[in-house]
Amino acid sequence: MRSSEQAKLVRDGRGMPEFIFNPRKGETLTEAFDVKGNPSVDRDWWRTKYASTGEEYNFTVAHWAIIEGRFRKHVKLVKEEEAAKLMHYDNMLLLITQDDVIHRRVFDQAHRSFVPNFECCIKAEVNGKIRHYAVSRQMVLFGVERRKAWRVLQSKAGVVNRDYLAQKSFLAKIDSGEISVADAKSRGAEWLAAEIAALKA
């Protein structure tokens, strides 16, 4: 029972997305690929709610990692007041592309994608209680890599990812100086929501 629940959570957190390749459906990848078994299929992450509060949040690969012993060195339980001083995981991910990782800009303190170690946090519900966790640099980069892999699968299936389009527009504004890095770090989710709304208009 526990293993089946873990398998569901690793899928839902994009750690190992579900897909079906059925060549009988057509002669193109878009026709043959199906990713509909994953939640929030047109978003980067599963949009769900905390059972105890009803607050909506992104269930990321880091949320799944909390309940996996092998990642214990990459997540640290912190008090709520400590978490308030850290950058939210979602906001950090918005500032990074896989290209930033490849070219090691994530280690450049002057670059928007710089990732400090254990200075990002997530909020998770564990055994019915809301907890806060600081995550390692590697956990942030893990999120970037898993997001990229999920976006590739989405594109093969012909799914347009609204978060990806919004992030590209958001980063262009940061890199041009229209939005400051400091503002992006503190209000990233807010900016992303505005970009997504603009795409719908």
Give the 3-state secondary structure of residue 131: strand
State yes or no: pLDDT of 1 exceeds 50.
no
Q: How many CB atoms lie within 10 A of CB 182?
A: 9
- The structural domain count of the chain equals 1
Average pLDDT on 59-65 reads: 97
- For residue 195, the model assigns a pLDDT of 83
pTM assigned to the model: 0.93
Quick: pLDDT tens for 33-59.
Answer: 999 999 999 999 999 999 999 999 999
- What is the model's pLDDT at position 2? 67
105 secondary structure, DSSP code: G
* Exposure string for 74-86, b = 16+ CB within 10 A, e = fewer: bbeebeeeebeeb
Calculated CA dihedral for residues 177, 182, 187, 193, nearest 10 degrees: 20
How far apart are the C-alpha atoms of 4 and 90, rounded to whole Å? Answer: 27
pLDDT tens, 80-126? 999 999 999 999 999 999 999 999 999 999 999 999 999 999 999 99
Instruction: Write down the mean pLDDT value for the chain.
Output: 94
Q: What's the domain range around 102? A: 2-200
Summarised one tens digit per residue, pLDDT across range 142-196 is 999 999 999 999 999 999 999 999 999 999 999 999 999 998 888 888 888 888 8
Among residues 88, 78, 82, which one has the least CA distance to residue 143?
A: 88
Radius of gyration of the chain (CA): 17
- Stretch 129-149: mean pLDDT: 98
**pLDDT for 144:** 98
One-character DSSP codes across 16-81: S---EE-GGG-SSHHHHEE-TTSSSTTSSSEEEE-TTT--EEEE-HHHHHTT-GGGGGGEEEE-HH
Other beta carbons within 10 angstroms of residue 92's beta carbon come to 25
